[in-house]
């Protein structure tokens, strides 16, 4: 049964990535992050004033378990833009500080 469950979870994740040009998989919600790394990532993302979707992996144990195998990134949060993994908290914060994340987000709106 495990393989079927994984495939279903993977399909859910791939659908989320396809449907949401900017999505962050995090612990908690943007209004109430449940770990320091998620809090830092969301605070940085909010500085761009661009819309983004989120998935609370604490409420989605199958996604929490499966996503690291799909993305090859072991920890949360994980930010995806147009279906591609951008990175975790440190990368998000650094990219907001140097302006490169805003550049990427501006391209999403044009696309």
Mind listing the domains of the chain with CATH numbers? 2-110 (3.40.30.10)
The pLDDT of residue 109 is: 65
Structural tokens at position 12: 């859910």
CA distance readout (Å), 89 to 11, 19, 82, 108, 110: 25, 22, 18, 20, 25
Residues of the chain below pLDDT 50: 1-4
Helix axes 89-98, 100-110, angle to 10 degrees: 90
pTM above 0.85, yes or no: yes
**Residue 33: which residues within 8 A CB-CB, separation 6 or more?**
26, 27, 39, 42
Q: What is the pLDDT of residues 84-110, one digit of tens each?
A: 999 999 999 999 999 999 999 999 865
Helix axes 89-98, 36-47, angle to 10 degrees: 20
């Amino acid at each position: 049964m495990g393989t079927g469950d994984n495939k279903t979870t993977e399909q859910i994740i791939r659908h989320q990535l396809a449907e949401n040009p900017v999505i962050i998989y995090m612990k908690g919600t943007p209004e109430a992050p449940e770990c320091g790394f998620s809090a830092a990532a969301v605070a940085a993302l909010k500085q761009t004033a661009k819309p983004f979707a989120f998935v609370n992996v604490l409420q989605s144990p199958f996604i929490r378990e499966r996503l690291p195998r799909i993305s090859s990134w072991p920890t949360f949060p994980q930010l995806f833009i147009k279906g591609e993994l951008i990175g975790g908290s440190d990368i998000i914060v650094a990219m907001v500080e140097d302006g490169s994340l805003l550049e990427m987000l501006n391209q999403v709106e044009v696309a």
